[in-house]
Amino acid sequence: MKQAIDLLFKGLDWLLVLLLAGMTVMVFGNVVLRYGFQSGIDISEEMSRFFFVWLIFLGSISAMRRNLHMGFDLLVVSVGPGARRVLLATANALVVGCCVLILFGTVMQWKVNATNIAPVTGLPMSWLFGVVVPMSLCVGLMAAQRMIGYMTGRINDLPESVGEIHE
């Protein structure tokens, strides 16, 4: 199971690379066309925005797996192990709550976004905002797993003191 999950995240990382590369090529190409030839490709402007939104939301899944999201842990590292577990479990519970709210909000907006059409590509805007569904599910599940791990004591992956952060 772990190998399948690792393979899934490796695929996600490659998708992120492709999205970033595609966005870069489209934006750079349009800059060259605009300044060099006074023209541009309309679809590349819209698709680069789509790629950017997908890059951000899919990237948050990858960042969550690696525990790379920004955090303020001065309080967490200055308390004992028991209080640390409570704080970390609470923080992850709040992340789960936010993901649930985001998921329900996205589902409620789905019908509205399905009838709104992107001006150039003609794609339903639900394609643009639909990436929030897998993001909220994946990040929420990872946060729930961490919350349970901290509550049961199976996870304890923070430095023991503030000094270890700066080394």
Res. 162: pLDDT tops 50 = no
Contacts of 1 (CB under 8 A, 6+ apart): none
pLDDT tens across 112-143, in order? 787 888 898 888 888 888 899 999 999 999 99
Distance CA 110, CA 130 (A): 8
22 and 75 together in one domain = no
Please give the average per-residue pLDDT across 6-13, as a whole number: 93
Q: How confident is the model at residue 167 (pLDDT cuts 50, 70, 90)?
A: very low
* Cβ count near 121 (within 10 Å): 14
Res. 163: pLDDT tops 50 = no
97 and 27 together in one domain = no
**Radius of gyration of the CA atoms of the chain, in A:** 20
pTM exceeds 0.75, yes or no: yes
pLDDT tens across 75-85, in order? 888 888 888 88
Tokens 């690379």 correspond to 17
86 and 153 together in one domain = yes
92 and 58 together in one domain = no
Distance CA 159, CA 37 (A): 55
Domain range spanning residue 76? 71-167
Contacts of 105 (CB under 8 A, 6+ apart): none
49 and 123 together in one domain = no
Helix axes 42-65, 2-37, angle to 10 degrees: 150
Please give the average per-residue pLDDT across 16-33, as a whole number: 95
